[in-house]
Amino acid sequence: MSGAWLNPNGIWTIYRAEMARMRRTFWQSIATPVITTVLYFVVFGGAIGSRMQHVGGVGYGAFIVPGLIMLTLLTQSIGNASIAIYFPIFTKTVYEILSAPLSAIETVFAYVGAAATKSVLLAMIILGTATFFTPLHILHPFWMVAFMLLTAVAFSLFGFIIGVWAQNFEQLAIVPALVVTPLTFLGGAFYSIDMLPQPWRTLNLLNPVVYLVSGFRWSFYGTGDVAVGLSLAFTGLFMAACLALIWWIFRTGYRLKP
């Protein structure tokens, strides 16, 4: 690498290839999530919103926007990163990547960077789509972008781990479908956990998605179910744990080397 800390050409090659795959699968990557979000607005914003006008002083239609965006960020970040590394392992082309003049940091940087970029772009599209359904006011735009980026990167790292761990397509989909999505629905994406009776309100504080949704909603409206500091701390700890596990994967060659 001629003494350089990073190999920008190698990173850009993988990053560009992953972003090109997004363009080739337009309906799956962009159109389908946007259509799904529109349906959420019709069902939750229209049907439920007509009976529950406000939550915490915020109109219900606007209240669910951060939750919908967070749901998209979590599922798309995991899905994009997991499928990106799973296919090279499945087709055995991962050995070519490992033998290329790329370090583990550069490989992860490229795959996770592409997955996070796709998720953030889609989140911004959904944010723009939401403005057609409800008026939005972002109180802390800097923190909104910060939470979006941190969440996308953290769960792209998590998706990378799942992609390495999965041995078939069923395992690849099981965590987003049976773990992340239910936790998001239970984590206050469409309601405030203060609306829950005890002991469910306290038990829900064990749900990690509560802290992500709450922090992201705070950036919009200045209010959340938990302190914003706890939301940032959880995101940072989760990212650190994923980085440590990825370091171990490359250190041991788990599922990457025969």
- The pLDDT assigned to 4 comes to 47
| CA separation for the pair 98, 95 (Å, rounded) | 5
Sequence-distant (6+) residues with CB within 8 A of 236 are 150
- The pLDDT assigned to 175 comes to 85
pLDDT digits (tens, 9 = 90+) for 93-118: 888 888 888 888 999 999 999 999 99
Is the pLDDT assigned to residue 75 strictly greater than 70? yes
Is the pLDDT assigned to residue 235 strictly greater than 50? yes
**Domain boundary assignment for the chain:** 11-252
pLDDT digits (tens, 9 = 90+) for 128-151: 888 888 888 899 999 999 999 999
- The pLDDT assigned to 3 comes to 41
pLDDT digits (tens, 9 = 90+) for 166-203: 998 888 888 888 888 888 888 888 888 888 888 888 88
- The pLDDT assigned to 150 comes to 94
Is the pLDDT assigned to residue 8 strictly greater than 50? yes
Mean pLDDT value across the chain:
87
pTM more than 0.75? yes
Sequence-distant (6+) residues with CB within 8 A of 155 are 73, 74, 77, 78, 81, 119
- The pLDDT assigned to 170 comes to 87
Q: What is the mean pLDDT of residues 236-244?
A: 95
Task: Give me the DSSP letters along the chain.
Answer: -TT-SS-HHHHHHHHHHHHHHHHHTHIIIIIHHHHHHHHHIIIIIIIITTT--EETTEEHHHHHHHHHHHHHHHHHHHHHHHHHHHHHHHTTTHHHHHHSS--HHHHHHHHHHHHHHHHHHHHHHHHHHHTTTS----S-HHHHHHHHHHHHHHHHHHHHHHHHH-SSHHHHHHHIIIIIHHHHHHTTSSS-GGGSPTTHHHHGGG-HHHHHHHHHHHHHHS--SS-HHHHHHHHHHHHHHHHHHHHHHHHHTTTT--
Is the pLDDT assigned to residue 155 strictly greater than 70? yes
Confidence category of residue 5, pLDDT binned at 50, 70, 90: low
Comparing 152 with 57, the larger pLDDT belongs to: 152
